[in-house]
Structure 1
């Protein structure tokens, strides 16, 4: 048995800890704040990238692996902890996608084996009768969602049952290495000796690793969301229209997201974003005008240049690993990201080719640009 410190208690850190502890490692999760309360909690939980054909192939590879397995892990977590992450297959309905995009989407779906159906106005109305806009659309019936705060609660409970230790309000300030190998981490309480560390610090990962000589382009990107407290069956599908989306929860609540703002580490909500998101929501689903807004919140995504995360060992320091930069797709890529890193750490056959994700190489940063939504 060997000891591993996971720096970061968000979804990526928790899923990585779960993969490692299942292989009989002794794992401690260290979190600068409260476990699962940053971008993992703030996101929408859609188990698909938005307009997925716009992303580089390495994003699709991670997403696809996880999509095939999320239902099973959610059922397992519900059985073992009593907390249901509410995996739900609502499908993803994309409204008024341009003709060139439709052709690109169709080619992508055929290549990777996804079901994607074009819809005319009648098809849109049949799919989601309450829509307030759209003359055509694309429909992906197999897309599911999870209720990410519940997923995080279930993972925390599951990990505690498996003997994982948690140290909250414990900010890692730096790393100690000798002869190119990790020997410890620095905290306010002093140096903690260790020989294996996973940095899964979300938006803070790039800043954390600066002192190690690794310039990792992971930066905070603010996203604001609004929650409507609606009645059950107000909305049935996940709907994407332009840059905005609606997500129906089982209890009738509807999430509206999200903004894309570069404000550094300032995590605030604004009235301007609230009004913008409400206006977009009313255009997509006019009945929301009669539904009260329950709350508004913000989170800091771990932005990366192309949306391809950094997964693997530090190029200069053995025993120091990175799992970060999932940007807007941390939930859907989380399962595969955790499994891939664990495969590399445990010297197992990796589930997919790790080369595109390795930090400090030409891999993850070499892919062409993309259209962020």
Structure 2
């Protein structure tokens, strides 16, 4: 097997977008996935490209870059593969107590469709995706990265990006690097209205409603800190439905479609880890995006690709480095 320029651990939205961006820049890419492509937190996401009202201030610059990049990304994916990503721009309504604020149209994607388009584009450009392959440790010597040890043997690469969601913490621990993450399980469901349609995203205190191009409405999401299961509870669905109907009464007559759960990687300070790892040449991290992975994926790919290629990223990554907890102490 030919050694690629970059090994990427994880094929959620972050790993896939990174792979595609690097291939566009002429890099050889090999992605490793312990399960199947896009089946973790990415598949469970609603796909909102949320307004800054819903984001920590430190993420505003990254989010703005992502929103700017998204229309071009989904168009290029369609041109290359013929696959749509469910991109829409709709009004975004934020309701707290009895007050409602309506913002300019905000974009959204269908994460499952976007995953399919990214996979197809990566493979068309010669990228390798290896599924059902567990990565057990990172391999390096005193001089440089070697690669990673997997359930199928050693995989080598001149550079390695750890984008494995919750699994990133354990993997980085094999070289003595500590990051602070914890799981947050979220349950969601989808419905279809019996009549009429919802033409805007509604975001309440405890629930959001995201209408999709195919007529489904995504209702989410519960938050269970510390829970890494992917089962769906009746209580979770009941609480979401009650809040959703209160926010938008026509949902009382809607038809149930599906329910699911995913586990999002959160960090102690609420910010992702992005950039080089502890000054180790050739090793990078992109994890801990929590509920903003879909939104931040294009910007993450853009700035990480700059870092890998020795260029100055468009957004400074000082506040997202893997050493920040130690530095704050």
Q: Same fold (TM over 0.5)?
A: yes
The answer (yes or no) to whether the contact 1:232–1:252 under 8 Å persists in 2 is no
2:236 is the counterpart of 1:235: no
The equivalent of 1:65 in structure 2 is 65
Alpha-carbon RMSD: 1.9
Matched length: 326
The equivalent of 1:164 in structure 2 is 127
Q: Distance in 2 between matches of 1:43 and 1:232?
A: 25
State the Cα distance separating 1:136 from its structure 2 match: 2.7
The equivalent of 1:78 in structure 2 is 78
The answer (yes or no) to whether the contact 1:180–1:317 under 8 Å persists in 2 is no
Residues 347 and 60 (structure 1 numbering): CA distance in 2 closer, same or farther, change over 3 Å? same
Gaps of 5+ in 2: none
Residues 361 and 95 (structure 1 numbering): CA distance in 2 closer, same or farther, change over 3 Å? closer
The equivalent of 1:12 in structure 2 is 14
The equivalent of 1:371 in structure 2 is none
Residue aligned with 1:254, SS: strand
The equivalent of 1:140 in structure 2 is 103
1:57-108 deviations in Å (ceiling 9; x for gaps): 2x111101011121121122122211111211112101136xxxxxxxxxxx
Residues 176 and 230 (structure 1 numbering): CA distance in 2 closer, same or farther, change over 3 Å? same
The equivalent of 2:211 in structure 1 is 248
Query: Where in structure 2 are the equivalents of 1:35-54 lying within 5 Å?
Result: 35-48=37-50, 51-52=53-54
State the Cα distance separating 1:231 from its structure 2 match: 5.1
Q: Distance in 2 between matches of 1:244 and 1:205?
A: 29
Q: Distance in 2 between matches of 1:79 and 1:183?
A: 36
State the Cα distance separating 1:51 from its structure 2 match: 3.2
Q: Distance in 2 between matches of 1:310 and 1:233?
A: 42
1:146-202 deviations in Å (ceiling 9; x for gaps): 111111111111111111011000010111111153212111222223331111001
The equivalent of 2:56 in structure 1 is 55
Query: Where in structure 2 are the equivalents of 1:264-275 lying within 5 Å?
Result: 264-275=227-238
Q: Distance in 2 between matches of 1:324 and 1:202?
A: 5
The answer (yes or no) to whether the contact 2:52–2:60 under 8 Å persists in 1 is no
Greater per-residue strand proportion: 2
1:117-170 deviations in Å (ceiling 9; x for gaps): xxxxxxxxxxxxxxxxxx431111131111111111111111111110110000
Find runs of 4+ consecutive structure 1 residues off by over 3 angstroms: none
The answer (yes or no) to whether the contact 1:63–1:332 under 8 Å persists in 2 is yes
TM-score (norm 1): 0.83
Residues 296 and 50 (structure 1 numbering): CA distance in 2 closer, same or farther, change over 3 Å? farther
TM-score (norm 2): 0.94
Q: Distance in 2 between matches of 1:2 and 1:96?
A: 50
2:284 is the counterpart of 1:284: no
The answer (yes or no) to whether the contact 2:181–2:267 under 8 Å persists in 1 is yes
State the Cα distance separating 1:362 from its structure 2 match: 5.5
State the Cα distance separating 1:203 from its structure 2 match: 2.0
State the Cα distance separating 1:211 from its structure 2 match: 1.5
Residue aligned with 1:202, SS: coil
The answer (yes or no) to whether the contact 2:207–2:220 under 8 Å persists in 1 is yes
Q: Distance in 2 between matches of 1:136 and 1:156?
A: 42
1:329-364 deviations in Å (ceiling 9; x for gaps): 01111111111111111011211112111212369x
Q: Distance in 1 between matches of 2:111 and 2:243?
A: 23
Residue aligned with 1:318, SS: strand
1:351 corresponds to which of 311, 314, 320: 314
